[in-house]
Homo-oligomer: A and B are copies of this chain.
Amino acid sequence: MKAEIIAVGTELLLGQVVNTNATFLSEKLADAGIEVYYHTVVGDNPRRLEQLLMEAQKRSDLIVLCGGLGPTDDDLTKDTVAAHIDHLLIQDEQALDRLHDFFAFSKNQMTENNLRQTLMIEGGIAVQNPTGLAVGTLITVEETTYLLLPGPPNELKPMFTQHALPLLEELFPQKEQLISRVLRFYGIGESQLVTELKELIDTQTNPTIAPYAKPNEVTLRLTAKVVDQAQGKQLLDILEAQVMTQVGEYFYGYGDDNSLVKVTVEALKEHGKTVSAAESLTAGLFQSTLGDVAGVSEVFKGGFVTYSAQTKQEFLGIDQKLLEKEGVVSKACAIAMAEQARNRSGADFAVSFTGVAGPGELEGQSAGTVWIGLAEKGQPAVAECYHFNRERNYIRQSAVMKGLDLIRRAVTKKK
């Protein structure tokens, strides 16, 4: 079972866009037991794409194409593949309905070229696009399977995961299956995690352990190659228990489609608690991150962005003398902000952020110095100073993650 990925788009060859689609698809296909042997990028040029298809057809069982399904004249992937296998393009009714709905709802005018997006290759299976208008196609001709996906990653990913992958798994069933489990950690770096688990990682062959560093967190993917689910679950349970013995204190949740904010919101819901915030350097990023989670209104009612000393006084009633004496980048200010945000919102918890986002210094303190305060009903508020590295927006992001972790631990009483 050999697969290859062809990305179509001159913008990739000009270095304007990074080919993250190939990376995403490779990882997902590997999980499904489908091995990828080549990635290729070719420009919006039908002749060169056709040459590549001739070559790919000889060496691969599955050819995944991304890009070139859009409305404009340089979107030629569908036409070229259809010509290559000598099929026609036909209108997909479901995609057409979605197109009309889209323009009716947004009240924008629909231009004629949008109809191109609703075309699929005759004889194939239409692959619907949950976040865009261009429909994909899956079609097998003479032992070669072609999968056509859109170029924008925010369309490609949901289309692949929700619609294309289940079709591929049906088409190419694997005797041995890969069963994996993702463990998520916050508060430990990748190199430290790998050092702690070195012996386990070096000696482990089935299941395997693959660490992966993401901004401000690390995940471990445990993957077992097994004949049946039950055996896989058992192997993963044993390995997980070993991992937890060593680094369990940093573990916060399971799964690819999970995050520290989701787990934090879930914990608040479970315990029937609410949260508020007062944000200086993060400027609303903590609250906005809460807002990413559907249904957060149950536990989050609102809060404050106090970016200047003046708004700290006016919105939160913090004493001007305190700010003058202690400075805004101070324990006293962080505590006052958290306390006042909690009082004024009536929430069970409030977190506060005040510090130096950079690039320059503030009050003689270097970029990355951040005080985070935590107020809990019936308890005196506390605050700690953290030092985050790298550039401005990484510092703000790091502060928000630490704030989420503080709330999560406070709600679940895990100190």
User: Does A230 reach chain B (CB closer than 8 Å)?
Assistant: no
Q: Which residue of B lies closest to A130 (CB)?
A: B391
Tell me if A106 and B287 are in contact (CB < 8 A). no
Tell me if B308 and A301 are in contact (CB < 8 A). yes
The residues of B that contact A394 with a CB separation of less than 8 Å are 131, 154
The verdict on A17 contacting B23 (CB below 8 Å), with A40-B39, A297-B308, A345-B311 known, is: yes
The verdict on A358 contacting B294 (CB below 8 Å), with A36-B13, A211-B72 known, is: yes
The residues of B that contact A359 with a CB separation of less than 8 Å are 294
Q: Which residue of B lies closest to A152 (CB)?
A: B213
Q: Which residue of B lies closest to A312 (CB)?
A: B302
User: Does A231 reach chain B (CB closer than 8 Å)?
Assistant: no
The verdict on A190 contacting B19 (CB below 8 Å), with A12-B39, A210-B11, A389-B105 known, is: no
What 0/1 pattern do residues 36 to 55 of A give for CB contact below 8 A with B? 11111111000010000001
User: Does A257 reach chain B (CB closer than 8 Å)?
Assistant: no
User: Interface size (A, Cβ < 8 Å)?
Assistant: 108
Min CB distance A44 to B, Å, is: 9
User: Does A304 reach chain B (CB closer than 8 Å)?
Assistant: yes
Q: Once bound together, how far apart are the Cα atoms of A20 and B20, in whole Å?
A: 9
User: Does A361 reach chain B (CB closer than 8 Å)?
Assistant: no
What 0/1 pattern do residues 10 to 44 of A give for CB contact below 8 A with B? 11111111111011111111100001111111110
Q: Which residue of B lies closest to A114 (CB)?
A: B191
Neighbour of A284 across the interface among B29, B36, B285, CB < 8 A? B285
Q: Once bound together, how far apart are the Cα atoms of A41 and B387, in whole Å?
A: 36
Tell me if A10 and B210 are in contact (CB < 8 A). yes
User: Does A258 reach chain B (CB closer than 8 Å)?
Assistant: no
The residues of B that contact A300 with a CB separation of less than 8 Å are 283, 307
Determine which residue in A16, A24, A305, A358 has the highest number of CB atoms from chain B within 10 A of its CB, and name it: A305
Identify whether the interface residues of A are mostly helix, strand, loop, or mixed. mixed
Neighbour of A287 across the interface among B37, B42, B305, B393, CB < 8 A? B305
Q: Once bound together, how far apart are the Cα atoms of A192 and B55, in whole Å?
A: 36
Tell me if B389 and A106 are in contact (CB < 8 A). yes
User: Does A195 reach chain B (CB closer than 8 Å)?
Assistant: yes
Among A48-83, those with CB < 8 Å from B are 48, 55, 70-73
- How many copies the complex holds: the figure is 2
User: Does A137 reach chain B (CB closer than 8 Å)?
Assistant: no
Q: Once bound together, how far apart are the Cα atoms of A338 and B305, in whole Å?
A: 15
What 0/1 pattern do residues 266 to 292 of A give for CB contact below 8 A with B? 000000000001010111111110111
User: Does A380 reach chain B (CB closer than 8 Å)?
Assistant: no
Tell me if A18 and B13 are in contact (CB < 8 A). no
Q: Once bound together, how far apart are the Cα atoms of A137 and B23, in whole Å?
A: 28
Q: Which residue of B lies closest to A29 (CB)?
A: B15
The verdict on A111 contacting B192 (CB below 8 Å), with A154-B215, A288-B283 known, is: yes
The residues of B that contact A18 with a CB separation of less than 8 Å are 18-20, 23
The residues of B that contact A19 with a CB separation of less than 8 Å are 18-19, 22-23, 39
Tell me if B302 and A307 are in contact (CB < 8 A). yes
User: Does A377 reach chain B (CB closer than 8 Å)?
Assistant: no
Tell me if B287 and A284 are in contact (CB < 8 A). yes
Min CB distance A12 to B, Å, is: 7
The residues of B that contact A23 with a CB separation of less than 8 Å are 12, 15, 17-19
* 18 additional contacts (CB under 8 A) given A14-B27, A288-B288: A12-B26, A15-B22, A15-B28, A19-B39, A22-B41, A55-B55, A70-B213, A72-B194, A72-B211, A105-B387, A111-B192, A113-B194, A113-B195, A152-B213, A283-B290, A284-B286, A302-B311, A302-B312
The 5 A-B residue pairs whose C-beta atoms are closest, nearest first, are A283-B291, A284-B284, A15-B27, A302-B311, A15-B26
A–B Cβ pairs within 8 angstroms, 22 of them: A10-B210, A13-B39, A15-B23, A15-B26, A15-B36, A22-B41, A38-B40, A38-B48, A71-B190, A72-B190, A111-B195, A283-B284, A284-B284, A284-B303, A285-B291, A291-B307, A291-B396, A292-B393, A294-B358, A302-B308, A304-B315, A305-B305
